[in-house]
Amino acid sequence: MTVRDLIGTDVVVLGTAKVSISTATTTAFDFGTPNDLDLSKLAGYKPGMRILVVFDASTAGNTNTVSFSVQDADDNAGNIGTPATAVTDGTLTGGVGDQYAITAVRLQAGRPWLRARVTSNGTTDTFVAQCLVLGIPAAI
């Protein structure tokens, strides 16, 4: 099997979410119940998978900046524990106008929860932001 074959059949969508942000705040993406992703409970996730997070934010404005972040957390009796900045590779700083970012998340032992967030620094522009979380087999 080629890498192209594996990407087409073995890459799993673990979560998708969309938010609108128009204030100077940080907003977590809501992936459904529960709002954050508990990898240990997702049917498509297999231990050892690589996690790839794809963000995009679009706006008609050009005044405010938008950026992205990923947190991981321990499990607290079936709920998200204490979130902290996840170990990622890739730049999530963003900027003015339409933005996108792609990062791989290095999963930490005992921290199966993921939270994806978007931050705007002002109130002039409204951003529509999306997040796609993919599980990729380690062999790819």
> pLDDT digits over 43-62, tens only?
899 999 999 999 999 999 99
pLDDT given at position 122: 92
**Structural domains of the chain, ranges and CATH numbers in brackets:** 3-136 (2.60.120)
pTM: 0.91
d(C-alpha 81, C-alpha 6), whole Å: 34
